[in-house]
Structure 1
Amino acid sequence: MERIYVGLGSNLAAPEQQLRNAIKALAQLPGTHLAGVSAFYQSDSLLPDQPRYTNAVAALDSHLAPLDLLDALQAIENDQGRERLERWGPRTLDLDILLFGDRLIDEPRLKVPHYQMHVRAFVLYPLAELAPADLQLPDGQSLNGLLQACPFVGLERLPQE
């Protein structure tokens, strides 16, 4: 099994409930164990005129191959009403593979580590709740170094239920 970190995000149709539903679906994936989930965070959209996002990170231990996991994540998104009308539009659910073990993946459908995670506080801070303190990304960057370069600005950690 490999440790995989998945970013979760939603800014439509009760975002916190969308994330809770996605977490339940992740726990049901074949050959996969849900190892942990971060707190939920809210942040402004990267684009103007969109609702605030709710984000989290889930840790999975899985036997699934990367593209099989990607297909499963996209099926969960679709089951929760995801419409892919525009690349950066609002969404009921967005599930992104952030890290897949120590693999560097460069496929047409999948880039790992996630290509923008290093500049997204709403990814790095929830990831830091789950990952080992000395986590090194496959490209050689340290999570601690990324956190130091990406301040906790514009994030709101939501109270846990």
Structure 2
Amino acid sequence: MKQTRKTRQAAARQKKSQPSGAAQPSRRNVLKLLRSGAIGGVVVAGGGYFARGSFQAHAAEHDLSRLGQGKPVVVQIHDPQCPTCTSLQRETRKALKGFGECDIVYLVADIMTEKGAAFAAKYGVPHVTLLLFDGEGDLQQTLKGMRQRDELQQVFTSHHAAST
């Protein structure tokens, strides 16, 4: 049988549309891909969960409306760009670890925000300052400058005893 030009072209087109020995993914490769995707999903979800918790803690720490709600409060006047402020924050957090979360509330008045700057101006204090309030929200003590954990623990212990 003699092939015409049209039948040869049709046969060539059909041959091109068929896979030419392309490797099909093996079951093992598909399972590896699924495993990697599952691990990646868990990592992303875990990171999101951590970020959410971290954001909530950060937001609660900057909520100055928590002042005067029945618990003694330590408010740090803080500039996030100041290395001394960051050191004071680290030492304050270490000193507060000995107290329960319900014993003393730690808040941050960030002077780079409008509310934080207004709070610092209200009490006439610069950054690198800790303000200690009683449960009613009355200022009891002002600590200006850098302090170490041991000194802060003593101050917080006496402040807690006097405020309860």
TM-score, reference length from structure 1: 0.26
The structure in which a higher percent of residues are strand is 1
The structure in which a higher percent of residues are helix is 2
